[in-house]
Chain A
């Protein structure tokens, strides 16, 4: 933790309960620079609660999470400045144009206007959105909206990118495109990526898979290791086995 270049994300013994229910029950792991980590878990595994804590929206009951060494609870502003988030729920202002949505973000991050213009131009071009820059987001398809949200998250040059079930409700082609884009960017920008999903095929491409169920981490390792575990034939089988309720015992 005290190294010169701390990992983009270090989570230690994070806990959050809602009444009697332990949504996140002592989770610890880290995400390194240029590492693409898939957080795989069924619905209700606690992924979203975990993400809410990582983005500072929920306060954990105990434990810590730090982004490039900045504790999200103690130094939220420094941590948030290094964090890019694509939320599970779309968070675009549909009445604003693509460009205005992006500029809203650069303003919120305090990126000077001239610098912001360059970055916006760059990312629009990169995602093939240049021609749609002046269109209100309402006119865009679900997949394109997601691309805009991804571009928006990258504007502040984050060191950690959180993707919270970012491909829900998007057709397979767009889903693949976004997954590949993020994988490429992960290497190229040397940023850590935490990709939450309940879809096993999305996790296949990851450097590391963290399987979460009922608020706890069930497995950490490469996709290959996950398949080898207990001699399963494929990821899906291994995943289903791990997250079955009986697997607790």
Chain B
């Protein structure tokens, strides 16, 4: 039973989606069923994380094939943490979808697609096989593209096409990497692969010719997944046009696939080349931080501003991974979790403001002054914005503090200086958005409509941000344990190949 625990967070949403589709004639039943399935699955991933934390990694070999031959599902500390983070945020996303006024949330396929998105995302975090990663990533991408294409926003189809086209191309990159790795090492199991790459690096004669090609292609795949500059161009469009509950998920947890991939690449798969990859990640991170911050300053749409800010926040995480010391990796993990909570909350609030505006759009021209009569929403947005900028008493402060400490201890003062400047930019654009929506007097005749999207989900997320800011110790301890676990690839290899 214990080993089956790692199956549950993937299989429950998949089954839930299949049954949910059959219930398409009864929308109320379908909604309740989908929400129940997602809650159960989130509980299962919490149990998985607890098991991985207290008793060590949970490994399941699909179909009973022993490790290097079959497909392994690995619930190690990193995978389980990411899975719980994803499913926790997805639960709030579904709460928002249940209470929102978007027409697309009433389509019969909306909630099943939300569940397949969950299954794909969780699967990428928990799989121990490179090709399986491709399969789950495709599931994730197709669900996300459809959910955006059916958006109430007319330009949803354009954004979905761009995203899907780029993602299919990225998948081709990953497939080529899979081919290259298979030619070079004859295996696709991540643990076995890591073992063979380590052995190869110690043996004489250098790496096989396709090794570096595969590494670079895989790196590019994860760059596209996380929208790291220069592969970011689809992301602001996509996150602006998606329906609010979906865009809140895409910009918070779905972009973390790349972050997860970079962590796996530098600490497990390509350890002999980790130094090169890390140097690249620091540069990319700093570029993302500066570029994302400046681009967010120049936007005319609240959702687009938040999408560009994701670019910057991913940059911080990449810098943390790039420094590579246990403290910096722990800081990157804290930032990853924090950013998921904060960005989901802020995007939901931006969408909720848009749902109250005269025309449903998050363009600043349209929502300026709409917040005058919505002080509660304003308080939530301000708290979320403070968290994004990293000001106490929110969890954003904890993450930034940990990152700065990691940087000082690693002696990386140049990158630290850039990051410090970019933090100030964050404050500027968040406060600008707050001022425009809640302080500026509205134009003649503009008034908030009654009704609109419910605020339970963003309130939950902002509450969690405050809680993790005031009582950060469990999260920090978890992050430190994950970083320690990632410090030695032999642990992962032994857990999978013996289990």
Same complex origin of A and B: no
Which of B's residues lie within 8 Å of A, judged by CB? none
